[in-house]
Structure 1
């Protein structure tokens, strides 16, 4: 069975989804981040797993379902924090972020029978998922994060290590208001879509 890791920030105003402001206020952006995190954790909770681990910057809230271990993120850049998350695991491990509320349990029900790594590219040039049959933190350290070439550099790092890589579907991260609208349209039954509708059309229901 696979260990499922979710790396996330506590959804507090001013600390998450700052690129959504404007048009949203910091409190609204945090509400959208919380909804995306709820959808992500629901998908992980519904997928088969050896362990479910939330690697959190901040403190857990009522949005956290049962069945998760919670561990703090280490200090340093995102590459160091992702590497540290993998260092806590043995055996097949898949890491996802909190920016893809359209995630489904089926996307996480993976095996590594014919590959060494799973790579989920994001439309913005990053990646939304990284799976390793044998966690190797060094594969992430030094990869430039949050830049257009993040995904290609990480993918090349896997190939250079001689790993057999299978790609996952390309997904769109929620970073901007346009992203939020597009993702909500793709996944209208999510908590994220409901929260976005409530914020953009208050009183419509």
Structure 2
């Protein structure tokens, strides 16, 4: 099975994440999308994150009606901080019957050369790239690489940071979140402080 790995802190998961994941599942040739909840991104401050299991629960709530999209906590059991190259090696060992690809935004592709062992990733895995408004494809070093697939997906400019800040300011962001995610966040008073 061809599985696309969509890594993120998902702090919180929002409709933009689902639009991209569903588009990849339906239109890219990938058969399933695994939403890999990252416990700690080496490039982000950990103290801004909700607990790992809360974010995983939100991903479960958001994806329960999408049979091709699955939550994954695979990185919870790997050494911290997580590096994509290590996660990919672990998944390939654990699920040799699957072919794993990465899903990332154009902005992340621009910094791929800074990733740990990025050459190993490119040698062994396809990368499916969705567009960002603030990216210029012509500046991307890897755009003609045979393993890079630029997908004509909807451009979604919703950020988890914007959602967290808006909740803190008592703004209504309900339309930006899957209904059950919004209810969980509201009921548990998350992001209000």
Query: If the length of structure 1 is used for normalisation, what is the TM-score?
Result: 0.40
TM-score, structure 2 normalization: 0.41
